Every structure is written in structure tokens, then in C-alpha cells.
């Protein structure tokens, strides 16, 4: 009696899995194998960033958070990592030849954060583009 | 650490970056002016004796300095609003046409004695108290006093509860109700947090005068004097030592860093 029940359940599970696999295969056939489009990341000015690209990708948030407290509380300024400098160096020009704000999907920070689906809180308070007079360097 | 800055040498214009050579030159000019203005008195010790040394920017601020302001109300005209508009421009405080809730870091308060009819106008901003009640009540530690006496809000950890606004006897703080964009890069501010006069901390750290003081010197009556209250050689220290000055609501014992001269 019990064995028969178990065997029925097992058969049901196998059938369900087969169905899911078939559905997934069908979806892949229709959607292609490209996945989510990669972000277009704007290069900063100059030869290199303040640190290695891989290091920046992994740790930029930690660097910024560490330094923000030093700047805010102790008045230590002009050190290596600065959100203001990131924003100024990686400014992306819009069609009006002005740097775009984070409202644009082309914004340096946003392009990657959209891809990674990570919300950025910085620009609730911080300027997401340099002041126009400063930005007309290039 | 010696942090003497000649930020209170009267009409000194904004210096984009610190230049020790220029500092020494200004000191020499001050000495020369002193001699010219007072013939017969040999004032060779002024200026040249202590060249200003700016703080190294990778060193934390210290309590060897206390930034303060002295406002001479005899030179402050009731119709003049230069300090307020300079503050708005410097910190990007453009409002939404809602005076009740728009951010206000500095305002002109007109007072009138009903018995005599005499009136005065005084700029009131965060008084940068030595014992700030806003810091006492803050539940997260967002409201804090920097070692050099500047009272600030750390918007990273401000939860917008507004206890500090209730606690401040000077009504110095504002709450940001609206979502903002295009803030000034040097003055971050955002929805759901409390803010107030920063004494233009970004300028002070760059060895410049606060925007209101600069505007008052340039376009107003030259009523505002900014400097280090702990440096006995600074102009502001000499003034507060020589003349009767008052703090508003001194009875509360908060020891504000902003003082008023000729306040009746």
C-alpha cells in the first residue's frame, strides 16, 4: 500500500521535471542565448582610475563609505577616493553637451547599477553630475 | 597644532587655493597699512610676526580652533539681504515657493522696541553652539559638532525625525520635504533629512570665508567678521575682547559661536 503511493508520487515528480525542462528549452529557443544586454560603461578622463578596475568594481562602495566619515566628521579632504571626483571624471555628455544626471540610463553609475539591479542611494543627496562650469573640461 | 588662519583680515577676497606666499604678502600689507594709519606708532610686530599656517587637509580638524562669527548690527542694514541670497546661491537652496517649509539656513530677523520705536535687523543662522541641544537630542548621532566647533548633520545617518528642529532655540534647522536634484557638489542635501548652516565648511576647509561673510564684505555693510575665537591674535578675538558683544539667548548657556555687537 505505502510502496504503491510512493511510486505514484515519484512518477508524478519525474513527469513534472520533464515538463519544466521542455518549457525552459522552448524559452531559450525563442529568446536567443544573449541574456541581459551588458551595460555600456563610459570611460573616465585620463589614463587610469584611482585604483585597478577590478578593485574598483568590487570595492568602490567600501572606499567611499570609509572616506565619507573621515571627510564629514574630521574634515579630511582631498584624499584618493571621492564621490565628487568619480562623478566629475566619469561625466557622460548628453545630447545638449551637458553632463547627464542619474535620471539618464547612460549615467556612469546608473548603467552598471541597472545591470546589477542594485539601488544607489548616493544621489538622493549628492550631485550626480559636476557643476556645468567644472564639466566643460572635455 | 597651530592652525592660525588670517581668514578675518577684513575684505580679503576669496582665495581658490591656499597659497602661503600670498598669505605672507597679505600679512606684510596689513603691517604696512598699520604703520601708515598710525604714524608715530611703530607697529612692526603686526602681521609679520605670525604667518598664517593653514591646516594640512589630510589631518583631522582639532579643537585648537573654534570658528566663530561676530556681527556688528550697526553696519547691518534692515533692507539688505546679501547674506541670505549668497547662502542660497552657494548651497543651492532654491525653494519651491513655499515659505513655511522651504529650507532656510540664514534669515534676517527684524526686531523693534515698541516703547522707543527703535528697530534693528539681524542675520540669524545656526549659532554653532559649544553645547548644542540638537546634538543632545539626536537619536542616531547624525547631529554632531566637529572638533573645531562647526555643528553639522551627517545626512548619511539622519532619519529625519526632526527632534533637533524642536530642540534648537534659534529655529536654525530645516527639513527637506521634496525630492531634490542638481544639488551643488560641495553641498549635498536630500529629501527626508534635516539640514542647517554649515558655516560653509567646504569653504572653511579650503581656507576661504563663508559665503555670507564674503557677500557682506563685498556688497553689504561689512558687518560680519569670521575667525578663530581661540586664537588671541585673530581679529575676531581682539574685537570680542575689546567691545561688548552678545550671544542671543545667552541665558540658555549654550555658548553660541555667533556673537552680535551693538544688539540692544
Interface check B238 vs A, CB under 8 A: no
Q: Report d(CA B183, CA B79) in Å as an integer.
A: 29
Region A27-46: what's the mean pLDDT? 73
Q: Report d(CA B106, CA B86) in Å as an integer.
A: 10
- Nearest CA distance, B162 vs chain A (angstrom): 17
Region B142-163: what's the mean pLDDT? 97
Which residues on A lie below 8 Å from B141 (Cβ)? none
Q: Report d(CA B234, CA B236) in Å as an integer.
A: 5
Give the pLDDT score at A78: 82
Give the pLDDT score at B46: 34
- Nearest CA distance, B69 vs chain A (angstrom): 19
Q: Who's near B164: CB < 8 A, 6+ residues apart?
A: B133, B134, B135, B137, B138, B143, B153, B173, B194
Interface check A131 vs B, CB under 8 A: yes
Check residue B222 and give left, alpha or beta (phi > 0: left; psi -120 to 50: alpha).
left
Under an 8 A CB cutoff, do A76 and B60 touch? yes
> Which of the two residues, B247 and B8, has the higher pLDDT score?
B247
Cell of B263: 544688539
Determine the 3-state secondary structure of B190 from DSSP.
Answer: coil
In chain B, the percentage of residues whose pLDDT exceeds 90 is 75
Which of B61, B155, B181 is facing A74, going by the closest CB pair?
A: B61
Is the whole-model pTM more than 0.90?
Answer: no
Instruction: Find the closest chain B residue to A74 by CA distance.
Output: B60
Cβ B189 vs Cβ B183: under 8 Å: yes
Q: Report d(CA A3, CA B36) in Å as an integer.
A: 113
Which residues on A lie below 8 Å from B61 (Cβ)? 74-75
Give the pLDDT score at B238: 97
Q: Report d(CA B150, CA B130) in Å as an integer.
A: 9
| Nearest partner of A91 among A40, A133, A44, judged by Cα | A44
Region A101-129: what's the mean pLDDT? 93
- The ipTM value here is 0.75
- Nearest CA distance, A36 vs chain B (angstrom): 29
Give the pLDDT score at A29: 53
Determine the 3-state secondary structure of B67 from DSSP.
Answer: strand
Q: Report d(CA B105, CA B117) in Å as an integer.
A: 29
Interface check A78 vs B, CB under 8 A: yes
Under an 8 A CB cutoff, do B205 and A77 touch? yes
> Which of the two residues, A68 and A11, has the higher pLDDT score?
A68
Under an 8 A CB cutoff, do A125 and B189 touch? yes
Contact pairs from chain A to chain B, CB under 8 Å? 64
User: What does the DSSP assignment read for B75-94?
Assistant: G--TT--HHHHHHHHHHT--
Under an 8 A CB cutoff, do A78 and B184 touch? no
Which residues on A lie below 8 Å from B63 (Cβ)? none
> Which of the two residues, A12 and B171, has the higher pLDDT score?
B171
| Nearest partner of B58 among A79, A83, A84, judged by Cα | A79
H or E segment and range at residue B71:
strand B67-72
Under an 8 A CB cutoff, do A75 and B189 touch? no
Under an 8 A CB cutoff, do B154 and A103 touch? no
Which residues on B lie below 8 Å from A75 (Cβ)? 55, 57, 60-61, 146, 148, 201, 205
Interface check B18 vs A, CB under 8 A: no
Long-range contacts of A69-74 (CB under 8 A, 24+ apart): A69/B156, A70/B60, A72/B152, A72/B154, A72/B156, A73/B144, A73/B146, A73/B154, A74/B60, A74/B61, A74/B146, A74/B147
Which residues on B lie below 8 Å from A134 (Cβ)? 185
pLDDT tens per residue, range B1-43: 444 444 444 443 344 444 544 444 444 444 444 444 444 333 3
Amino acid at each position: 500500500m505505502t510502496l504503491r503511493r510512493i511510486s505514484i508520487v515519484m512518477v508524478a515528480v519525474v513527469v513534472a521535471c520533464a515538463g519544466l525542462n521542455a518549457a525552459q528549452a522552448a524559452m531559450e529557443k525563442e529568446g536567443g542565448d544573449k541574456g541581459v544586454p551588458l551595460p555600456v560603461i563610459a570611460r573616465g578622463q585620463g589614463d587610469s582610475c584611482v585604483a585597478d578596475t577590478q578593485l574598483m568594481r568590487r570595492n568602490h562602495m567600501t572606499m567611499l563609505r570609509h572616506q565619507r566619515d573621515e571627510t564629514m566628521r574630521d574634515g579630511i579632504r582631498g584624499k584618493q577616493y571621492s564621490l565628487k571626483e568619480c562623478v566629475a571624471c566619469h561625466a557622460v555628455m548628453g545630447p545638449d553637451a551637458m553632463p547627464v544626471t542619474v535620471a539618464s540610463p547612460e549615467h556612469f553609475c546608473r548603467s552598471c547599477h541597472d545591470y546589477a539591479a542594485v539601488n544607489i542611494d548616493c544621489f538622493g543627496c549628492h550631485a550626480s553630475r559636476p557643476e556645468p562650469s567644472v564639466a566643460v573640461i572635455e | 597644532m597651530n592652525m592660525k588662519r588670517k581668514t578675518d583680515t577684513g575684505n580679503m577676497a576669496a582665495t581658490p587655493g591656499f597659497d602661503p606666499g600670498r598669505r605672507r604678502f597679505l600679512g606684510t600689507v596689513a603691517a604696512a597699512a598699520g604703520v601708515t594709519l598710525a604714524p608715530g606708532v611703530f607697529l612692526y610686530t603686526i602681521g609679520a610676526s605670525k604667518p598664517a599656517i593653514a591646516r594640512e587637509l589630510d589631518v583631522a580638524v582639532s579643537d585648537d580652533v573654534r570658528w566663530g562669527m561676530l556681527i556688528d548690527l550697526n553696519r547691518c542694514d534692515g533692507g539688505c539681504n546679501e547674506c541670505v541670497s549668497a547662502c542660497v546661491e552657494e548651497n543651492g537652496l532654491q525653494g519651491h515657493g513655499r515659505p513655511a517649509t522651504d529650507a532656510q539656513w540664514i534669515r534676517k530677523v527684524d526686531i523693534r522696541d515698541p516703547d522707543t520705536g527703535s528697530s534693528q535687523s539681524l542675520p540669524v543662522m545656526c549659532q554653532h553652539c559649544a553645547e548644542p541641544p540638537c546634538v543632545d537630542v539626536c537619536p542616531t548621532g547624525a547631529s554632531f559638532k566637529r572638533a573645531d566647533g562647526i555643528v553639522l548633520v551627517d545626512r548619511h545617518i539622519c532619519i529625519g525625525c526632526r527632534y533637533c528642529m524642536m530642540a534648537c532655540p534659534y529655529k536654525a534647522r530645516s527639513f527637506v520635504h521634496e525630492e531634490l536634484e542638481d544639488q551643488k557638489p560641495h553641498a549635498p542635501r536630500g529629501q527626508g533629512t534635516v539640514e542647517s548652516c554649515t558655516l560653509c565648511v567646504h569653504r572653511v576647509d579650503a581656507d576661504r570665508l563663508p559665503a555670507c561673510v564674503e557677500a557682506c564684505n563685498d556688497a553689504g555693510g561689512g558687518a560680519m567678521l569670521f575667525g578663530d575665537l581661540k586664537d588671541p591674535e585673530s581679529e575676531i578675538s581682539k574685537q570680542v575682547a575689546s567691545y561688548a558683544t552678545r550671544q542671543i539667548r545667552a541665558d540658555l548657556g549654550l555658548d553660541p559661536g555667533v556673537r552680535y555687537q551693538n544688539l540692544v
